[in-house]
Structure formats: structure tokens, C-alpha cells
Structure 1
Amino acid sequence: MASFVVSTRYEDIPEHTREMAKRCLLDGLGVSLAATGLAPVCRPFVEHAMEQGGHTQSTVFASGVRLPAAMAAFANGALAHALDFEDAHDESLLHPNAPTIPAALAVCEAFGPIEGKELIAALVLGCDVACRLSLALRVPLDEYGWYPPPMIAAFGATAAVGRLLKLNEQQLIDAFSLTLGQATCSAELKFSPHSDIRAVRDAFPAQIAVTSVLLARKGVRGFDRPFEGRAGFFALYARGAYEPETVTHAFGESFAIDRISFKPYPSCRGTHVYIEAAAQLVREHRIDSSDIVSIKLVGSRLNLMLAEPVAQKRRPATAIDAKFSLPFTVATALRCGTVTLDDFTDRALQDAAVLDLAGRANFSADPARGTAGPDVLRGSVELELSGGRRVKLQIDQPSGSPSRPASEAALIEKFRDCCRRARSEPAPPLIDRWVEQILTLEKCADAGEIARLM
């Protein structure tokens, strides 16, 4: 895998794959900028990074402050998932680009000039590493108490940063080893309604990736087998339950970033088919939400985490908990016709009409459905209406998935809307400039310029 990351040339990557990398960068940056204005939970991370001081290498988004690369990656990484609106890889249940984009941009700015082509290649390869590791697992890591998204994505971010700083094969293995010594996350965050960690989790892998690569570049040696060793990643976290061939199969022939999904709603990907089905039922049947007696949701047992504990999910205490709540997001869709960034403010979390609807929602897991593949995202909504009438809709693939892709125009509009929500709103000409720079990134001689303008 290290050899694959080090030796793959930009020219080896298909054009459509390069285009996907640019779209991921556009989407990720927009969502992060919106978080500077909408996610106060990120502020302590930014303040902590600023208090450390040091070399003025890399920009903290929407602040004008420059910090050492690892600390800028830390601050910007906290923004990446705070709104739960960034891209996702549905097959692997990851947000592989969330820590990778802030880490890669920090390095491009600090150690540049680095060509846009190299940033594109790094994003493609980093996404591939993370998704391959996740897809190789044959047991859900949360069975053993782990929360895998930031843990696994840390290795993808390490691969991307290592590629940008031109590590050789052995140095990248050393960097993976250093990341293994730092990347961890407890699944306990799923059971704590007031926890902020789920929102800001990607601060840690973004910082880890930069730190690991810089240490490996200075000659720090790691382990020979950080993944497949008897105490490597798979042994430690999955008790050896993995398929090695999945990690290495068809390197360079198929890229995971081609199968990235872009979110139309700012909530956990597992809520999306239910949001879409609820909104469609209301629209097509002209249902007044006051006529809804009960809401029956059915899906994979993996989605139990979005429905239990029942009392917590019906009245979420924080924005991030609301984004991981099927009752709340479905009730919002039934009441408002969609779910937007405006639906997770403190005021929205106290909306009596939405909370009343959420109290009528019940989720049940279909035992015939698995916890991997298409079964995870497939779901149905059935509404019982006053008078006894029932309406039902099942959706198999959420909007924005590879089979129902978002258009470039839709992604640009999402980016513009996110930029307008930043703490210091950029002027429209600057937003236009970002769009142009990112979507023509292969022509850019210094990719760090994108971050310097943030």
C-alpha cells in the first residue's frame, strides 16, 4: 500500500477520478467555512491552536491567523465534520476526506509551492487508503467499543500528507506506524447526549497525519507491519477479522473516491433516505403534519444508533445529537419539507411542533437486513394519519449517492450557500475565485494559495 501511494503518478489517475477529487475539495472547504459561523463547539479548538503560537505556516480558516501546519490542521480539522454536511463513502461508512483536506491544505501552504496536480493525486490516494482499510474489516469495530470513522480516516490523511511531502516507501510505513500509536476514538460518544467529540473528532486525525509524516521525514522509525502485524491495526481493533486481499486488490484500477456521495442534508448519512421519504410523502399526499398520528421507520439494525436511547433521540440536546437522530430529522422533514442548516440552531432544537412529531416516531430494525452494503442505507417511512389512512414509501439509495449523483451546479450552489454562513462572510468575487481555483486545480502552480485566501 505504501508503494502504491508513493509510486502512483497524477497521469495514472483517470480524468473522472481527478474531477471527483476537486469536487470533494470544493464541498469540504465550503462545509468547513460554514462551520466557522454555525458551530461554536469548534471555537475552543481554534483558540487552543492559536494559543500555541509558533511558525506562521498555514492558515486557520476564516481567521486570517497562520500557525504551524499541524496546529492549523488541528483547528481546521475540527470544522470538517462539525455540521455533518461533508461528503461520505457509503460502502465503507466513512467520511474519508474530512481530516485529509485540512491536513493536506496545511502542508501545501507550509511546505509549498506544491502543484495542484499533486494535491489532486494526494486526495485520491488518501481516500483510497482509508476506504480500503475499512472495507477489509469483517467485524464492526464498535462491537469492541471503538468509533472507527476518525480512526480509519487518520491513515488516509497520513497517506495524503506523506504523498505531498514526497516520503519514500519506508518513511510512509513509519508514518503509518506513528499514526497507529495515536489514532483512537471511543464509541462511548454515541451514548453521551452532551458530548461534543462526535462533532469535532476530525481535529485529531488531521493533526496526527501532519505530525506523523513530519516525524517520519526526520527519520523516526516505526513498525515493519503497522496494519497486518500480530499487534498491528487489524489485530488491535478487529481481533484479526479482516481480508488482506481487499486492502490490496486492483491498486490503481479502481479508486474509492469515484464512489463518494455528496450530502443534500446536513445530518448523518443514515438519516437521508428517511428525510427524503418523509418529505416526498408530505408533498405527494399533501399531508398536514398535524394529521400525523404515528411515524413508523424501518431499516438496518445499524441505524439503531440513530433511534436509541429513544428519549434522547426524540429530544436531542445538541445540534450534533440532533443530526444523529431519526425522530428529529424525520419530524423536521415532515414539518418543513426538507432539512437544512437552519434546522439545528438552539431555537430549532426547541421547536415544539417538531418535538411533538418526533415523539410519535418509532424505529424498528428489520432482522433480514444486513449491516453492510446497500442494506445500511435503505429505509422506509410509514405514516398513520387521522382517520386511519396509511401511506408508505421506501427509498433504496439516498440522493447524492453514486447512483443518484449530485450535479456540479448543485455542489457549486451548496458551496456558495456555505460560504455565506462563514463567521466573516467572503465577498462574492472571492467565492467566485475559490470556485474557479478549485475546479481548475490541475492548472494551479501553488495549491497553498487556496488556503491563504480562506
Structure 2
Amino acid sequence: MTMKSLKPTTPEQDPAGKLAKMVIHTTYDDIPPAVIELAKKAIFDTLSVIIAGSSWEVSPQIVEQVTEWGGAAQSTILVYGNKVPATLAAFANGVMARAIDMGDVHETGGHVTEWNVPAMFAALGLSDKPITGKDFLAAYITASEMSVRVNAAMNGCSHASVGIPGEYNGPLCATASVSRLLGLSVEKTWNALGIAYSVHGMSEMQKYAEGTQMVRVQHSFAGETAIKATLLSRRGVTGPKGIFMGVPGGVYRHLEWDDFDVNVLTDDLGTRWHYAEGLSMKPYSACKYTHSFIASTIELMVQNRLDHRDISSICCVGSEGARMTIEPVDAKWTPKTAGEALFSAPYTIATAAITGDVFLGDFSEREILRADKQELMQKIRVTSGPAITDQFEGFPVEICLRDGRVFRHTTPYVKGHTKNPMTWDDLARKFWKCVPYAAVALPEAKLRKIVELCAGLDEVQDVSDLVDALTP
């Protein structure tokens, strides 16, 4: 249906109210064990990304700036250990979670954990009592479920549209988690969500198209907004209630596409967990749309013992969403910065063919400008279209050699997908691969403590213990 076909609603009828109630009233015991286990993995995975992201690109500058701003020593900047106001800790933590583009992605819900977990760790410094692992998990899971549903309702959304749902929904996800952690009522949580919605308008693709650092820094603003919105609501500041369906300015009132299902927002709340149905964790440091290409390229190169110097062409087909990794053509086939390369299908495919992996070391200026990568990129052809119905998975790859041989492969589900999930051992390997990139070296004993605490997060009595392990 289109939004124009829906009847006007009053602000009090907005689905945001039911979503806020779900976030606040759902107990830990209401959540299925499998969902809790997935959440523990996702939080551990995000902390791995934060550790590596602490030194990446713009993160050090953000930390320097918030430290200069200073203020009350409420919360901890992860990895660095600086004590700053909670809003600024959330600002610094946020960029680190997105810096290396290796956080989880939901099949229909977009980016998830990198939105709320950085702000949640900052919010710990504002709590007047210890936050248990169970409390932390419940706040994370319920807000993540809200976030996924909000995006999943927009089945017709594509990256060719005006905005990306997750980019404006991120602040709402973070705000919901923080509101629950700090004990807000349903009404005040709804207000906090309205405040966050009012601050962050619908996002757009320009920051991706130009390869700017705002792709990462937007998470800083989301975390800061979550803390501010929650604290302001707690003091009685009100926000709009008609966040999604409000007339004239609710989020969904701006949409034009036909494949929209408002019922996804609230149907089976508390019994069906969309969050757990499509959350993927990333084995490669790059845009999720490149992962199917990468996995199939590596499979073909390894299984057939191919040499990249023998390749005459590589042809790939992706989904409509994958267009963001091939347009604009100049930037995608001749990337010059890490920001451009992270979102370049040709660069990541060439890297996979040459090195057998795509990880952080592949995004230095020296690596990006390597002659062999530049040469191979010009032999790569990537198209996208409606023939590929899955958003991220099952993209066919064909490698042709100069001697005339042709090799084809399609990876049904890349490692990390819910149908090909990462084990705790897989996540531990990713964690230790990320550790050398930390801006500040963390003692090995603390690193091992992080692994231990995340695996047993539901038994942790004070999540601040995890913050301590995440600082020198």
C-alpha cells in the first residue's frame, strides 16, 4: 500500500506508542534464549569493531575534540579511557562502531548494533545503580527489535530513494535502549523518541556517493542525541507522538513506494522477533553489498588455484541495492580514499582475488593505489538489477581466464548470515584480528576478559566491568 491510501491517524494512535511499551515492558524472561544468544554475539562483535575502529580514519580526531570540549567526568570513552560527559562519550564511541564498516547488518532492518550499543555504554555512567547483563541485553534486544521492524515495514525502500531508513532510525534505536537503561516510563520513552525524531531528519545518499566521513560520524550524532533526548524527556521535555504516521510530518508520510506494510510495526510484538530472523555479522571490512561478491571470488580463486594475473575478466551481478557500490563509476573503479574503497565493489573484488581476504590492512592509501589492484579493477564488470531478489545474498560471480577457461560460483549465504552463522570461535578470530588496530594497546588479560564477559553477559552483575576491560 502507499502511505496516501492510509487513513489519517491522531498522534496518540501512532505505532510509536506500542513500540515504546514493548521496549519498556518486555522482561528478560520474555525473550527466547536463541535471541539472547544472538544478542550476546552481536554485542561482542560490535566491541571487536569498536576496538579496531578506535584508530581508524576520523576516530582519533573525534576523541581529541570531545576531550577538548571536556566537562563532567561521567562516562568512559571506550579503548581510550578518557572520562567525559555521557553525551560526549556516546559521540566518541559512536564513530568507532561504524569506522571500519564491519558491524552487523539486518537483511531488512539495516545496520543495528552499531547504533545503540555505543550509546548504551556511555549511559552506564548516568545510572544510579549497577546495570546487570540481563538488563543490558533486554534494553539492547527490545530497541533493536523496534529498529528492525521500523525498517522492515518499508519493503519497497531502496538505496536509490531519497533516504536510507536506518540512517534516521539509528537515533531512535539508540534512544530506546538508553531510555530503558535509565528507567524511563513508557510515556517518557515515547517523548524521548519524539525528541530524537525531531532532531534527525530523513537521511540521504550523498555522503555515501561522495565517500565522506559523515558515513561514520553520523553515528556520533545518533549516540549523543540518544543521551540528550532521554535526559530531556526525564526532565519533562515533550516530543511529538506521531513519529511514524503523524499528519503531516510522520516518517512514513514522506514515502511514495507501494510495498509498505504498517502492520509489521506492531504485529506479534513480544512473540515474533524480526531482529533474530535476518541479522548478519560481517567477516569482511566493507559494505555488506560487496560481501557476496567477495566470498564467491575467494571461493573461486582458492578452490581452482587461480592466479589473478591470469584473469581476463570478472563479471558479477548484484541486487538493486548494490548499485551504491558501483555508482558513481569514477569513484568506484578508481577509489582514492578508504571511504571510497569500503563502498567499492570493484576494489573489494580485486582485493579478494589478489589477497584472499578483505580486511583493514587493505584500505591504506598504499594498498588502494597498488598497481595490480588498479589493473584488475579495470577488468571487473558489475551490474545490478531486479533479477537478484535478495538484498545482500546470492550474487553470481564469473571469472574468465586468458586461456579461455571460465569459472562461476554463487555463495547462497555468506558466513555470518543467520543461515550460515558465525560461531563463538569465528567471532573470537575476528576479535583477535581487530585487536592490533586498537588506538591504545589493551593488556592481554583485559582482552581475554572481554571475550569471557561477552560470552557470559547474561550472568554479569555490573556491565561496568566490561567498560573497565575495554580501557587501558
Q: TM-score range by the shorter chain?
A: over 0.9
Shift in Å, 1:438: 1.8
Gaps of 5+ in 1: none
1:355 match: secondary structure: helix
The equivalent residue for 2:270 is 252
Q: What SS class does the counterpart of residue 431 from structure 2 fall into? A: helix
Structure 2 residue aligned with 1:178 = 195
Conserved 8 A contact 2:54-2:96: yes
- SS of 1:362's equivalent in the other structure is strand
What's the counterpart of residue 211 of structure 1?
A: 228
Aligned to 1:402: 418
Question: Matched residues in 1 for 2:299 and 2:160: separation?
Answer: 35
- Mapped pair 1:192 → 2:210: yes
Give the equivalent residue in structure 2 for 1:33.
51
1:430 to 419, 424, 446: 446
Paired residues of 1:87 and 1:261 also in contact (CA < 8 A): yes
Q: Does 1:420 align with 2:439?
A: no
Aligned to 2:20: 2
For 1:25 and 1:69, locate their aligned partners in 2 and report how far apart those are by CA, in whole Å. 20
Hey, what does 1:243 align to over in structure 2?
261
Q: Does 1:331 align with 2:350?
A: yes
Q: 2:365 aligns with which of 337, 340, 346?
A: 346
Whether contact under 8 Å (1:174, 1:221) holds in the other structure is: yes
Query: What is the DSSP-based 3-state SS (H/G/I as helix, E as strand, rest coil) of the residue aligned with 1:381?
Result: strand
How far does residue 400 in structure 1 lie from its aligned partner after superposition? 0.9
Q: Distance in 1 between matches of 2:250 and 2:21?
A: 18
CA contact (8 A) 2:244 2:253 kept: no
Instruction: Verify: 1:281 aligned to 2:300, yes or no.
Output: yes
- Equivalence for 2:409: 393
Is 1:135 paired with 2:186?
no
List aligned pairs for 1:136-155, cutoff 5 A. 136-140=153-157, 142-155=159-172
Once structures 1 and 2 are overlaid, which stretch shifts more, 72-81 or 257-266? Answer: 257-266
Distance 1:333 1:68 in 2: 42
Change (3 A) 1:281 1:240: closer
Deviations along 1:22-79, one digit per CA (max 9) or x if unpaired, are 1111111111111112x13122221221122111111112222111111100111011
1:303 to 309, 312, 322: 322
SS of equivalent to 2:446: helix
Q: Deviations over 1:4-29 (max 9, x none)?
A: 11110111111221121111111111
TM-score normalised to structure 1 length: 0.94
Shift, 1:234, TM fit: 2.6
Q: Name the aligned partner's letter for residue 236 of structure 2.
A: G
Cα distance in structure 1, aligned partners of 2:257 and 2:307: 52
Q: Residue 256 of structure 1: CA displacement?
A: 3.3
Q: Give the one of 310, 319, 333 matched to 1:314.
A: 333
Partner of 2:42: 24
Structure 1 residue ranges, 4+ long, deviating more than 4 angstroms after superposition: 141-144
Cα shift at 1:308: 1.7
Aligned residue pairs: how many? 448
Query: In the TM superposition, what whole-angstrom CA distance separates every residue of 1:233-291 from its partner, at most 9, and x where no partner exists?
Result: 43454259642210001111122332321111111111111111111111122211111
* C-alpha contact (below 8 Å) 2:388/2:395 kept by paired residues: no
Shift of residue 138 of structure 1? 4.2
Question: What is the CA–CA distance in structure 1 between the aligned matches of 2:52 and 2:333, rounded to whole Å?
Answer: 26
Give distance in 1, aligned partners of 2:256 and 2:440.
47
* 1:418-445 deviation line (CA, Å, top 9, x unaligned): 1232112212111111111222122222
TM-score normalised per structure 2: 0.91
2:393 to 377, 391, 416: 377
Instruction: Say if 2:466 is the partner of 1:447.
Output: no
Q: Retained in 2: the 8 A contact 1:103–1:206?
A: yes
Name the SS for the 1:55 alignment partner.
coil
Matches within 5 A, 1:42-191: 42-92=59-109, 94-111=110-127, 112-140=129-157, 142-184=159-201, 185-191=203-209
The answer as to whether partners of 1:139 and 1:238 remain within 8 angstroms in 2 is no
What's the counterpart of residue 229 of structure 1?
246
1:376, 1:99 → 2: CA distance?
20
Q: Measure, in 2, the Cα distance between the counterparts of 1:64 and 1:302.
A: 38
Alpha carbons of structure 1 residues 245 and 421: separation in structure 2 relative to 1, 3 Å: same
Q: Classify 1:343/1:240 alpha carbon distance in 2 versus 1 (closer, same or farther; 3 Å).
A: closer
The CA distance in 1 between the partners of 2:340 and 2:257, in whole Å, is 32
What does the per-residue CA deviation read over 1:198-242, in whole Å, with 9 as the maximum and x for residues that have no partner?
133211111111111111111111123222211344345425964
Counterpart-to-counterpart distance in 2, 1:33 and 1:77 = 12
Structure 2: where are the runs of 5+ without partners?
1-18
Cα distance in 1 for residues equivalent to 2:386 and 2:275: 31
**Letter matched to residue 32 of structure 1:** I
What letter corresponds to residue 449 of structure 2 in structure 1?
R
Letter in 2 for 1:44: Q
Matched, 1:266 2:285: yes
Aligned partners of 1:18 and 1:120 also within 8 Å: yes
Match of 2:408, SS?
Answer: strand
After TM superposition, give the deviation of residue 91 of structure 1 in Å. 2.5
SS at match of 1:98: helix
Shift in CA distance, 240/316, structure 1 to aligned 2, threshold 3 Å? closer
For the structure 1 residues 367 and 150, does the alpha-carbon distance in structure 2 shift closer, same or farther, using more than 3 Å as the test?
closer
- Whether contact under 8 Å (1:20, 1:257) holds in the other structure is no
Contact 2:336 2:369 in 1 (8 A): no
Q: 2:387 aligns with which of 368, 372, 382?
A: 368
Q: 1:367 to 1:413 in 2, by over 3 A?
A: closer
Amino acid across the alignment from 2:117: I
